[in-house]
Structure 1
Amino acid sequence: MKKIALTIAAVASLGLTACGGNDAATEANTTAVDLNATDEAVTDVNAATDAAVDNALDNAAAAAGEASEAADNAAENVAEAADAAAH
């Protein structure tokens, strides 16, 4: 919600700048609002990237554990089949 408000404020500032002339203070305020929005976007992207990497690592670890268990089960099945064939 905060991002939307900052975006609206930036657009409103640009609109006022276009209508009211090129006041240096207005331009500075517009730039500050744009930079704040950019900083928040970078923070959000970094957080999303971290979450995605953590999720991928968790999924990979779970898949490795399941693959190991499947290999153990397969080895046990082979051993049982060999034992059954020997008798």
Structure 2
Amino acid sequence: MYNSHTGKQSSRKSPIWKNLQGTPKQPTNVECGYLVMRFMRDIIHDPGLAFEKKYDRKNEPAVYTQGHIDEVRLEWAEFMNKQLHKNK
């Protein structure tokens, strides 16, 4: 991206950006970090990259339930608990 903005030539192909209209929306203004972590988790756990088709629905956007957000909160808390106990 830096090369394309500065006009430098690169042997790499330019990235193709696609705006996915059906990505889950943040219901309020307090869970943004967890929403982003859940979205990244879904992308990482999708080796076939099918998330592009899943989130390209304009009329039917995906929704993260409170259960989806709580799942990420629990995973994060378990990870942090392990890290704290490992450093003792």
Same fold at TM > 0.5: no
The structure number with the bigger radius of gyration is 1
Larger helix proportion of the pair: 1
Using the size of structure 2 for normalisation, the TM-score is 0.29
The one of the two structures with greater contact order (alpha-carbon pairs below 8 A, sep at least 6) is 2
